[in-house]
Chains A and B, each alone.
Chain A
Amino acid sequence: MLKIQDLHLSFGGIKALKGISFEAVPGEITGVIGPNGAGKTSLFNAISGFYTPDKGSVHFDGRDISGLGPDRRAVLGMARTFQNIALFRGMTVLDNIKLGAHTRLNTTLWQALRYFGQARSDELALRRDIEERVIDFLEIDHIRKLPITMLPYGLQKRVELGRALAMQPRVLMLDEPVAGMNREETADMARFILDVQEEFGTTILLVEHDMHMVMDICTRVVVLNFGEQIAEGSPEEVSGNPAVIKAYLGAAA
């Protein structure tokens, strides 16, 4: 489904990614972990199309998408969230989530100006779909009409997940979905992520620092350190891997 092959990325003299290769497990959750500065977010940006890799390729459904821009990749069915929430702050929760469904609608400019007819029926169908499939699912009914700026951090994260879900993606990339959350919020978010995977069968790629969560919900884990892929395997294999322990805790004296 999503396959990364020998990905190299550098900024000037800094080599951010040095030959990353792995495959996201279809219909399962794959975790990407590593210490700060390991290249996790750079990897995400390269996969979603913001960075052009120096070498290597990203395959989606057997097709090389390395040359496509972020908006084209979204059309193919890739969604993502950002580490530091990237919602549209001037809009309500409902409008933010509706934006996620942008590529699923066909309303043209001319139809939009008239509204009555095609645009109206599309919008009403969308509203119903979003209310029932996203807002109800994520339990955010009570805040749907509020502007983003009025929401606490944890809820903003959940709305961002909702916006990604509205795309009905086949691959969902979550960049630190529980960063800065307390234990209860983390547990809630983990449950939502598992629900998404179970209910929609979405392939999920997850960057996260919370080891408990990664070990609990991921089927496969990829470990990065200084841009290099130092381990890959099941959570159990990875947590026993000497290279991983060394990267996280430092070598024994």
Chain B
Amino acid sequence: MINGNLKSSYGSDERIVNNGYKQAFVYGSFLCLAAFALFANDYMILIACQVGILLVAVVGINILTGYTGLISLGHGAFVAIGAYAVTILHNAMDGIVPDALTALIAIPVAVTITALIGIIVGLPSLRVKGLYLAVATLAASFIVIFIVENETFAGYTGGVVGINTPVPNLLGWELDTKREMFIFISVSAVLALLAGQNLFRTRVGRAFIAIRDRDYSAEILGISLLRYKLMSFALSAAYCGMAGALFAYFYARILPEQFELELSLELIAAVIVGGMGRTLGPLFGVILIVLVPELIKVTASVVTNGDTASTRIIAPLQEIIFGLLLIFFLLKEPLGINHIVDRLIRAANRWPFARG
């Protein structure tokens, strides 16, 4: 039950963590994250890094799809642009700029480039909505992958065979282990979530939601649809670009096929499963979408016990099982995991007086 929660100023009411339970949750999570960085084994760190990288991208998708109501099937391409931009920038600056500064220049530049391309890809959103917009953005994704794979630019991008990625060096701190990368990724992800939440405490975020809920009414309040739709595209692209930069730093090599439609769909699926238009929705969604296939994989390897014949049968089944689980989940919880959490919190608030 929440009690002792009297506010005596507007400031205390407008805080993100505006009661003791939220504070306990947020600060407790930070402690857990720190403990995880110190004590988790390499396998857990690897999984957590995947969660963190995807989370940054999905927070961006949440801004675009969850809050502004615009669907994009092309955001995998922005992750690609971020990843390739960072790699190319590192190669270009090699020997010219000191190693300790390269990443600090490359990341903002890559994110800015991605945001600018996001604006271009977002242009159709001014004329078309819904599925038509999805198709238009899909085209953008094909174009980006085509350029990356094209022979003409293979000198920069490595073409279809991919390219080796740099190791980031932040002012002399070389992130050459996965554990160090985890720290960098988790700090980025926390900042991404915080910035995403801050946005919706101001007029910019409110304008996004207004466009989602009723666009003509937003216009009547002086919100320029042109400006804010493009802003939403740019911002979500920037988040995906940041995720791409982390992706490039985390893995030793990147390939164009990693950023195709499957990634874009994964990002959308994560935000839908987690809860669209909710702060922590992306976090829940990404955890589910990374952990469940992993759990299925582990279970499958236990079942087959290393036997090659049965592995051959089980392997394709894993994706089918994951797909069925997703469908089942969406039928039961169309509003996503965040809705389950909402219900639990509501029940806890009312306890011990009422249930439900």
Listed in ascending order, the chain A residues whose CB lies under 8 Å from chain B are 48, 50, 69-72, 74-75, 79-80, 82, 86-91, 95, 98-103, 105, 107-109, 111-115, 119, 122-124, 127-128, 131, 163, 167
| Neighbouring A residues of B4 by C-beta, 8 Å | none
Min distance, Cβ A78 to any Cβ of chain B, angstroms: 8
Q: Is chain B's interface secondary structure helix, strand, loop, or mixed overall? A: helix
Residues of B within 8 A of A87 (CB): 214, 217
Whether A107 lies near B202 (C-beta < 8 A) is yes
In contact, B221 and A82 (Cβ under 8 angstroms) = no
Closest to B197 in A: A115
Count of inter-chain pairs, beta carbons less than 8 A: 110
> Is A115 a contact of B201 with CB atoms below 8 Å?
yes
The residues of B with any CB-CB pair to A shorter than 8 Å are: 10-11, 13-14, 195, 198-199, 201-207, 209-210, 212-214, 216-225, 231, 235, 277
Q: Is the CB of A111 within 8 A of B202?
A: yes
Given A99-B218, A122-B202, 7 more contacts at CB 8 Å? A71-B221, A95-B206, A98-B206, A101-B203, A112-B201, A114-B198, A124-B10
Q: Which residues from chain A contact B277 at a C-beta distance below 8 Å?
A: 90
Taking CB atoms, residues of chain A closer than 8 Å to B223 are: 71, 99, 102
Complex CA–CA separation, A66 to B148 (angstroms): 47
A-B contact pairs, 26 of them (CB 8 A): A70-B219, A71-B219, A71-B222, A71-B225, A74-B221, A74-B222, A86-B214, A88-B214, A91-B209, A95-B206, A99-B210, A99-B223, A100-B221, A102-B207, A103-B222, A105-B202, A105-B203, A107-B202, A109-B235, A112-B202, A112-B205, A114-B195, A115-B198, A124-B10, A127-B14, A128-B10
Distance of A99 Cα from B206 Cα, bound (Å)? 6
Partner of B220, one of A80, A98, A108: A80
Residues A127 and B10 in contact, CB atoms below 8 Å apart: yes
**A86/B205 in contact, CB under 8 A:** no
Which of A95, A113, A127, A163 gathers the greatest number of chain B CB atoms within 10 Å?
Answer: A113
Contact A82/B217 with A88-B209, A90-B277 known, Cβ cut-off 8 Å:
yes
